Structure 1
Amino acid sequence: MAPYSSEFPQNDPLSYQVKAKKQVHENVQPPFEILNKYRSQMKRLRSGKFHEIEKSDELSSVFSALSIIRMAKLKSNYSHHKGDFLSTLPNSSHQFDSALAHKHTAEHLKRSLCLLDAADKFFNRKYDQAEKSINAVLSEYSHADDHPVDRVIACFARDLRERIDIENGKIDLERELVHVDVEQELVDLKSAIHENEQKLPFSQITHFTAIQTILDSLASAEKIHFIDIGKKLGSHWIIIMHALANRKNIRIEQLKITVVCTLKDDVEETGDLLSSFAESMNLPFVFKILHSEMNELKKDEFELENGETVAVFLEFCLTSLSFCPKNIEALIQGIKNLNPRVMVVSEVEANTSGSAFIDRFDEAIIICSAMFDCLEDCLERDNKCRVIIEKIYFQEIIKNGVLSEVEEGFKRCRKIDFWREYFARFGIVETELSQASMYQASLLIRESCRWKLCSLSMNGKCMLLGWNGIPLRSLSAWKFSE
């Protein structure tokens, strides 16, 4: 990771905002005022009562999935490369002894050690021994406790067993294969997932920060064309409309939102609702749906008008196309042809592109442990969307960690340092996220007692959002050089 910004120190990532807060209140921009009002509305949405999350006892809440996996790795001497997260674990020997003294946590450690042993044996091509360890993990798995570490172990064990079967040339006819239509379940549970996104920090903070940065970049624009690429629920579009409808200094002549999506994505109803909302606020508004693959963008299909200022928002698009570098090149070139004022990019902050299985597995299990801990703290265990959310957001990371290097079609996650170098080839220059947006992000984190482990840090000009110190998502802003 690159050095942290001097304005956003690693040890106290929010301290610089004392200065930011003063500047914001001395010269409040209208969009920021709107976002503050909208933030209050979102706070009320989150203020509903939560069901108590059942814990087996106090210790099970102390030992998170991340801490258990870390302790297991330390005990098994599993780490095979430098820079491992174990260096950040204080008093690990004492914690390990304390964990063993507790029945359920000791069982979690036992299963974690068994999984790591299977991964190590697989890495050393001892497939029969790895299979025995995996079978032991799965035979002892129980939903009775359903601690987040159990969910992590079960996901990795099932995929690792599939990898072992591939290597051994086995076809397990007795194993039931469950095919889940994630996209259909996403549609069926759209309203519930939308509600849950108010309880999870990453989407909400990312969208607020991205939109504030876009609004700041378009502060003097009268005709705005916002191009949104990637699967989203669309709640963040309302924030833009609120801000522009209440802009005081410069009248907005037109806001056009173009959504780039596939035929499977159902956004027509959302467009109708947004149009009604714009009409109630006397906001000149155009909503356009462009059914196109991300790597097949054509400038004339966007119907750009004279005087329009274009802004582009990409979310998880680079990862989606990463199995074919030519598709990413086509996407970037298509965006460049639109001549946007700013491009904001949100991506998974992980590296599952390593050539060695053990490196990918190590990265994936740490990332997923932190993510499952986040769900544990923010959502109820019986939440009907939790499994779907886990599958939507994390399945690719798990698959990338354990499936074969020669498997085609699996997406590779990359960290911001990689994308920074990649964009430089196209003359794309990173720009600062606005100070107001960074201040807004910190306020959102402080509002929720359940988000206390959400971490905010900087890698150069890029903001990293994480959980319990593990970066999970990046947000960055870019401009195309002339």
Structure 2
Amino acid sequence: MEDYGDFNPFRDFEFCESNVFDEARVFSDFQRYDEQLEAASYCGFLDSLKYDIASPSIKTHLNEIVGLGGISTDIQEVECAAEKSWAPPLTTLLEILNQYKCGLRRMRDTREGIRADGLSTVDIIRIAGAKFIQSSTSRDADGNLSAHLYDYYLHGYPEEVKRNVRLGMTLLAAAEKVGDHKFVAAIEFLDQCDVLSSASGNSVERIVHHFSGALREKIDRETGTVSENGLGRRLTLDIEAEITKPSIPVLVTHQQIPFFQLQQLCTTQTIMENVTQSKKVHVIDLGIRNGSQWVILMQALAARQENPVELLKITAIGTFSPELIEETGKRLEEFAKDLKLPFSCNTITVSDMMDLREDHIGLQDDETVIVYSQFLLRSMIPHPDRLESIMSVIKQINPIMMVVAEIDANLNSPVFVTRFIDALLYYSAFFDSFEDCMKRDDENRKFTECVLFAKAIRTIVAAKGEERSQRHVKLNVWRAFFHRYRMAEVDLGISSTSQVALAKNSLPCAKSCTVEMNGKSLVIGWKDTPICFLSAWKFEGTSEHDI
């Protein structure tokens, strides 16, 4: 309890017993790419975009964002070719923005009625994208947009909105130049971004500041130089290690931002509903972090009067820092001792998930086994053999249920400008939630944004191959992936979703936080932008009454 301090992400919750975008597909078979192709092992078979060959243009992708249309999940091109040689057809710039279905419907053409505080960060970026496209026919000989044309296209908007939209347009112009390998012109736009943005400004200024830095990083990598303002490779922080240890900024941010609280509340309630008759519960946590996700489950099982649990066993699996994983196990054991909950924690460290075997886990015949995966599978997207290996182990375990929590975003396109815009919109929603839920001068928020998010953004935007470790795909892509292993989606349960709805409505940010069902899965978002999802799965053939 001392190690956790007063931290309880669910202290305010009382415990008691759409279509996100377009249907996605994955490759029908695991495809072994030719070893002679650079990045063949990097793209992964879960990329959710396939485009015809055309000249690259960020305007193309912005048209995608605001327009209509579907995107398939096949990929047949490798990353090195994708970033240099091709992009979607010109009809696309607004289709990606359509994926983030929040903002423009609230404003239409009633510019005089728009207030700066009535628009989200995603709204501002969407407007900037729309105006950037609109301005594309009014460029000067060098393709630049002059100041008076900026003002022309933003006529009628409040000054703060104008300033934020202009900043977004400048960032998009820089991204367009980077996509065209016009790095000198890109740096001129980035210099303007640096003057107008900062890590301590409003949410638009902060998001532009970090994406501007990511573009500089990409320029440095492309040119093989490190500029005065470039970030180079100086930041070596291991994000996974940082969120594994009981870091105060991570725990405080977790407590104040609703997404993962609600996700974990639903996880706990779903597990509780499925172990009501179980004396021994064994949770296998793939890629355990700081262990805080099990606090409420342990409290719930300790409080269960009817059919009290004889043993809760958590098998904590990780691929790095055995010391951190063991410390997590010890904290959980101490917490269980204070709750007087029969508990054991088995920690397993493997150098590679491909080394994990069923006999490492120590299963007992009288245990009810549940596998839990939070943000682990996406780390294996570049490595299909690892995904195949871990799914083989899970199938051998044959749990009554596998609970999967992942980010619900497409940040894995091999096309730079597509990946850039998707990431910009996704993190804009996240920064917007920070703006509403945490104080501007909160040091924990600053650490999360300026260290963890900044590293993730640079990785998504600038890195290639295995260095691009931050990869996420949409729920429908994972759904197709699990189907190929003959896994059926399981209802999370009425009680689970009801508890999440009640908890969400009790939050100060209830109107902004969105909770909705996509099939049998729960999608949690911010002002209509999906952030993360929770789903449950079982292998077909498992008896229904086992679930």
Normalised TM-score (structure 2): 0.69
Contact 1:314 1:344 in 2 (8 A): yes
Change (3 A) 1:406 1:308: closer
Q: Trace 1:303-452 onto structure 2 (pairs within 5 A).
A: 303-390=362-449, 394-395=453-454, 398-399=457-458, 401-403=460-462, 406=465, 408-452=467-511
> Residue 372 of structure 2 aligns to a residue in which SS?
strand
Contact 1:400 1:412 in 2 (8 A): no
Farther-moved stretch of structure 1 (156-165 vs 416-425): 156-165
Shift of the alpha carbon at 1:113?
Answer: 0.8
Say yes or no: does 1:156 pair with 2:211: yes
Change (3 A) 1:125 1:181: closer
What is the CA–CA distance in structure 2 between the aligned matches of 1:42 and 1:96, rounded to whole Å?
A: 43
Contact 1:370 1:467 in 2 (8 A): yes
What is the CA–CA distance in structure 1 between the aligned matches of 2:505 and 2:371, rounded to whole Å?
A: 29
**Per-residue CA distance 1:326-352 (angstroms, 9 max, x = gap):** 111112112222221101001111112
Aligned to 2:227: 172
Say yes or no: does 1:285 pair with 2:343: yes
Change (3 A) 1:336 1:165: same
Shift of the alpha carbon at 1:79?
Answer: 12
Shift of the alpha carbon at 1:155?
Answer: 1.2
Contact 1:367 1:470 in 2 (8 A): yes
Q: Tell me the amino acid that sits aligned with residue 263 of structure 1.
A: S
What is the CA–CA distance in structure 2 between the aligned matches of 1:405 and 1:40, rounded to whole Å?
A: 38
Say yes or no: does 1:228 pair with 2:285: yes
> Residue 449 of structure 1 aligns to a residue in which SS?
coil
How many residue pairs end up in the alignment?
417
Q: Trace 1:20-419 onto structure 2 (pairs within 5 A).
A: 41-42=11-12, 60-77=116-133, 97=155, 99=157, 101-102=158-159, 104-142=160-198, 146-172=201-227, 175=230, 178-179=234-235, 181-183=237-239, 190-261=247-318, 262-263=320-321, 266-292=324-350, 293-390=352-449, 394-395=453-454, 398-399=457-458, 401-403=460-462, 406=465, 408-419=467-478
Change (3 A) 1:79 1:296: farther
Q: Tell me the amino acid that sits aligned with residue 258 of structure 2.
A: P
**Per-residue CA distance 1:131-185 (angstroms, 9 max, x = gap):** 3222222233345x61111111111111112222333444426746542535576
Contact 2:284 2:371 in 1 (8 A): yes
What is the CA–CA distance in structure 1 between the aligned matches of 2:540 and 2:477, rounded to whole Å?
A: 19
**Per-residue CA distance 1:275-319 (angstroms, 9 max, x = gap):** 344345443211221122434321111111221111011010011
**Per-residue CA distance 1:232-282 (angstroms, 9 max, x = gap):** 332232222222223333232221111112325624444344334434544
Q: Tell me the amino acid that sits aligned with residue 161 of structure 1.
A: R
Aligned to 1:453: 512
Task: Please state which structure has a larger fraction of its residues in helix.
Answer: 1
Runs of at least 5 residues in structure 2 that lack an aligned partner in the other structure: 1-7, 15-113, 137-150, 542-547
> Residue 472 of structure 1 aligns to a residue in which SS?
strand
Contact 2:284 2:316 in 1 (8 A): yes
Change (3 A) 1:436 1:174: closer
> Residue 259 of structure 1 aligns to a residue in which SS?
strand
What is the CA–CA distance in structure 2 between the aligned matches of 1:190 and 1:72, rounded to whole Å?
A: 36
Farther-moved stretch of structure 1 (69-78 vs 198-207): 69-78
Contact 1:463 1:474 in 2 (8 A): yes
Contact 1:231 1:265 in 2 (8 A): no
Q: Tell me the amino acid that sits aligned with residue 217 of structure 2.
A: E
Change (3 A) 1:312 1:188: closer
Say yes or no: does 1:474 pair with 2:505: no
Shift of the alpha carbon at 1:214?
Answer: 1.5
Change (3 A) 1:437 1:98: farther
Runs of at least 5 residues in structure 1 that lack an aligned partner in the other structure: 1-37, 45-57, 81-92
Normalised TM-score (structure 1): 0.78
What is the CA–CA distance in structure 2 between the aligned matches of 1:269 and 1:78, rounded to whole Å?
A: 55
Change (3 A) 1:386 1:272: same
Contact 1:42 1:198 in 2 (8 A): no
Farther-moved stretch of structure 1 (123-132 vs 402-411): 402-411
Q: Tell me the amino acid that sits aligned with residue 134 of structure 1.
A: L
- The share of aligned pairs that are identical, in percent, is 31
What is the CA–CA distance in structure 1 between the aligned matches of 2:426 and 2:135, rounded to whole Å?
A: 15
What is the CA–CA distance in structure 2 between the aligned matches of 1:329 and 1:391, rounded to whole Å?
A: 35
What is the CA–CA distance in structure 1 between the aligned matches of 2:264 and 2:463, rounded to whole Å?
A: 34
> Residue 242 of structure 1 aligns to a residue in which SS?
helix
Q: Tell me the amino acid that sits aligned with residue 214 of structure 1.
A: I
Q: Tell me the amino acid that sits aligned with residue 244 of structure 1.
A: L
What is the CA–CA distance in structure 1 between the aligned matches of 2:405 and 2:10, rounded to whole Å?
A: 24
Farther-moved stretch of structure 1 (275-284 vs 183-192): 183-192
Q: Tell me the amino acid that sits aligned with residue 442 of structure 2.
A: N
Of the candidates 433, 439, 464, which is equivalent to residue 523 of structure 2?
464
Aligned to 1:11: none
Shift of the alpha carbon at 1:115?
Answer: 0.8
Contact 2:524 2:532 in 1 (8 A): yes
Q: Tell me the amino acid that sits aligned with residue 257 of structure 2.
A: L
Aligned to 1:31: none
> Residue 517 of structure 2 aligns to a residue in which SS?
strand
What is the CA–CA distance in structure 2 between the aligned matches of 1:269 and 1:219, rounded to whole Å?
A: 30
What is the CA–CA distance in structure 2 between the aligned matches of 1:116 and 1:418, rounded to whole Å?
A: 28
Change (3 A) 1:39 1:75: closer
Shift of the alpha carbon at 1:203?
Answer: 1.3
Contact 1:297 1:335 in 2 (8 A): no
